[in-house]
Amino acid sequence: MSLSAWECQALNSIRDELADSDPQLTALLVSFTELASGESMPARERVRPSSRRAVVRSYRRRRYRDRVRELRVYQRLMSRWALLLWLLVTAVLISVAVTLSRGGGGHVACTGYWSATCTHPAPASGLPASAHGAADNHAQG
């Protein structure tokens, strides 16, 4: 079997690249060539090209696998973002609840459990509400 000029050039180019990249592989290739030099080359085999339908089917399968892989990566990424968003919303809600339960600084504290149940604000001084009302009546009279 004889090789065409471009096939010989391609093989020589591959040989030179291998020799430059990996000297051990070159040594193995040289020993293989010495062992196989006495044998005749096999007859050239004609490979029949695949049908267009088989090529398209193979392309579709590969594309489908790639899309499934991309979808899985997207789903993993979105689940991480959903978890992060849930944690962020939870932290904000907790901080708002803590801020509101402390009375918010300049606001008057309510003595009841719910601010809706309070009809009047708590006294500013340390006096009880009944004593505070009596002090107001004494100041007016």
Tens digits of per-residue pLDDT, 126-137?
555 555 455 455
Question: Which are the contacts of 63, defined by CB distance < 8 A and separation ≥ 6?
Answer: none
| Average pLDDT rounded to a whole number, residues 82-96 | 93
% of the chain surpassing 90 pLDDT: 15
pLDDT band at 86 (very low <50, low <70, confident <90, very high): very high
Per-residue confidence (pLDDT) for residue 76, from 0 to 100: 87
Q: Is-contact 62 48, C-beta < 8 A?
A: no
Residue 1 has pLDDT above 90, yes or no: no
Residue 91 has pLDDT above 70, yes or no: yes
Tens digits of per-residue pLDDT, 39-78?
887 787 777 777 778 878 888 889 999 999 999 988 888 8
